[in-house]
Chain A
Amino acid sequence: MDQVGATTKASRMVYLSSIVLLCLWILGPLYLLAVNALSSPEAINQFPMSLIPEFDLESLVFFMKFNGMVDALVNSIIVAVLTMIFSIGLGAPAGYALSRFDFIGKEFFRVMILMTRAFPLPLLALPLAVLFIETGLDDTQIGLSLIHTTLALPFAILITFSLFSGIPKELEEAAWTLGCTRFGAFRHVVLPLILPGITASAIFAFVISWNEVFASAVLTIQNRTLTAFLLQNLDTAPLHLKFAGGFILVIPALVFIFAVRKYLFAMWGISNR
């Protein structure tokens, strides 16, 4: 009896400490980032530095005034919104088709969706850059958003696929027998049911684009996104500016992902978390 108690107690300790460790792994750097972004430049450079933020907005204000920073921020938002529209516009119908229709090559298609993530972007960057220059898409927001769409699309398809699969076909059929066309049934029954999930998947696409740095750095020169802009200025920028930039980058991504985490679980079939 004691032994059993000891074992469960020990395994519980291991369980708890791994949770704490994982949380520290993520939250530690985030906390340091927040402390530094919210401290005055002087405080950042002093040693030993304080672990309690001063809530001094000087760094953030300076960051916002930094030449080109606002443009980069706007670019980031535009590209992310375009990515969001493209990946849902293409991904949701694909997800619907995968969950509702049987077609030749369906399984192959599902594997291929994941395979698109198997090619590292750096490998594709040079040919893509050449292609973009030839077609005139280089250094445009729409061109970059197309690249980001290819990154976000697999997730958009898989998330919407699982969302549609979670809606019994009988609901649509019931709507048909109650006087709906196929489109009507979609609009009146399926759409209201998946709208929260679609929103989540759109936000996820937004975050993917928002965080993406490699393609942005390679494919834009004038129209830098925030990530590319920060990367470019990393060497020369003063420390407090880097922290402020990092902070601005991390916060929206973090908030959005936290808001939609339930649906991201759904993508892997664990919908009841």
Chain B
Amino acid sequence: MAAISIRNISKRFDSYEALNDINLEIHDREFMVLLGASGCGKTTLLRIIAGLETASSGEVWIDNRRIDHLPAKDRGISMVFQNYAIFPHLTVADNIGFGLKMAKMNAATIADRVQENAELMHIEQLLSRYSGELSGGQRQRVAVARALAMEPDVILMDEPLSNLDALLRLEMRAELKGVLQRSNTTAIYVTHDQVEAMSLADRVSVMDTGKIVQAADPMELYRNPATHFVAGFIGNPPMNFLKAQIVRSNTWKVAGVDFTGPSAFSNELLCAIRPEDVLLAASGLPAEVLMIEPLGPHLLVTVSVAGTPFRAILDVDTQVEVGNQIFLDPIQDRIRWFDPANNLAVSI
């Protein structure tokens, strides 16, 4: 059992506010991903949970234990670092067994657990090597095995895949997911890669300038972004935004076309449409094609809708050319609305 509760955590570096009143509940055995651009405070938050950084104010609880005053070693956590942090003077086996040795376990138990976790990460043939003799991917496996060998309540990972090349990252991602599902640990995973976040997480917390803007499961995050920021951050490319003027109670005019939207409460809203949620049609949003990028599975077409750049993902066989006037028909129930006054989502 290890549920984590982060309460009112703030962190200031001199005058710079890295974290601003963070509150987050992470359930037992949940895989939580902290997602955000660099400098948003996600790593700082992870390091505060780990005990490598002290919060300026606030509390961290694991189950019924307040841990923010404890040194890292007494928190029941283990951590995987971005640059692996494999001890270069020890063999792979000694690296994996390091924490167990520090806990003064007997040699036989250590050897068993080292073997078990090495097999789990498929590095049992490397046990007598030193980190200098390993590739990046192998080092990452050692780092994960070392963290898992501790059988921690909570495993913390700080961009563990970001130093790997693209193919290896895909492979390790799938493997990590499997390994962590089988182990009964709660995991907190920091990344700036939204695909990684979506694929791994039970829940994703999107962070921006020291705040958590939305914490939700990946599909919810994708379908119903809570703020303008999340809508403009998640998705590749992210949502398109078009200005909408009120016509009457629940009807809004976007680029000259009427759409059913939220009941009136202000005169202007932002209409948000995912690139893949439009179809080429005989009527709809009038658009001029500016650029066509064939990406293999589909075409990424940049158009101008009433002077606003708009990106659409169209079928690869679509016949369009730069300069064409086309019509894009959005899927009605996937349109989202945001209030430009406070950048929050408006429900219909």
On A, residues with C-beta under 8 Å from B are 168, 170-171, 173-181, 184, 188-189, 192-193
Contact = CB atoms under 8 A, between A and B. Distances in A.
B186 to A, nearest CB: 15
A172 to B, nearest CB: 9
Contacts of B89: 189, 192-193
Interface string B56-90: 00000000000000011100011101110101110
Interface string B35-75: 00000000000000011100000000000000000011100
B87 A177 contact: no
B123 to A, nearest CB: 17
Contacts of A180: 73, 102
A177 B78 contact: yes
B97 to A, nearest CB: 10
Given A178-B102, A180-B102, A184-B102, A171 B87 contact: yes
B27 to A, nearest CB: 22
A168 B52 contact: no
Contacts of A171: 85, 87-88
A38 B102 CA distance: 56
B79 A177 contact: yes
Interface in B137-159: 146, 150, 156
A176 B73 contact: yes
A183 B71 CA distance: 13
5 shortest interchain CB distances as A-B pairs: A178-B99, A179-B102, A174-B85, A170-B85, A176-B72
A272 B6 CA distance: 45
28 contacts: A168-B83, A171-B85, A171-B87, A171-B88, A173-B50, A173-B52, A173-B79, A173-B85, A174-B79, A174-B81, A175-B87, A175-B102, A176-B72, A176-B73, A177-B51, A177-B52, A177-B79, A178-B98, A178-B99, A178-B146, A178-B150, A179-B99, A179-B102, A179-B150, A181-B71, A189-B87, A192-B89, A193-B88
Given A173-B72, A184-B102, 5 more contacts: A171-B87, A173-B79, A174-B79, A177-B50, A178-B146
**Which of A173, A179, A188, A192 has the most chain B CB atoms closer than 10 A to its own CB?**
A179
A171 B72 CA distance: 14
Nearest to B98: A178
B221 to A, nearest CB: 29
Nearest to B89: A192
A272 to B, nearest CB: 14
Nearest to A191: B89
Contacts of B282: none
A178 B50 CA distance: 11
A103 to B, nearest CB: 15
Interface of B: 50-52, 71-73, 77-79, 81-83, 85, 87-89, 98-99, 102-103, 146, 150, 156
Given A170-B85, A193-B89, A176 B71 contact: yes
Contact of A168 (B73, B85, B102): B85
A181 to B, nearest CB: 7
Nearest to B104: A179
A170 B83 contact: yes
Contacts, number: 60
A188 B103 CA distance: 13
Contacts of A168: 83, 85
A184 B85 CA distance: 16
A40 B333 CA distance: 105
Contacts of A189: 87, 89
A100 B339 CA distance: 48
A1 to B, nearest CB: 41
A95 B345 CA distance: 54
Nearest to B143: A174
Contacts of B146: 178
Nearest to A189: B87
B81 A170 contact: yes
A179 B77 CA distance: 9
B87 A179 contact: no
A71 B82 CA distance: 58
Contacts of B150: 178-179
Nearest to B74: A179
Contacts of A175: 87, 98, 102
Contacts of A184: 102
A216 to B, nearest CB: 39
Contacts of A178: 73, 78, 98-99, 102, 146, 150
A54 to B, nearest CB: 48
A29 to B, nearest CB: 41
B85 A176 contact: no
A165 to B, nearest CB: 15
B103 to A, nearest CB: 5
A176 B98 CA distance: 11
Nearest to A184: B102
Contacts of B85: 168, 170-171, 173-174
Contacts of B156: 177
Contacts of B52: 173, 176-177
Nearest to A179: B102
A59 B51 CA distance: 66
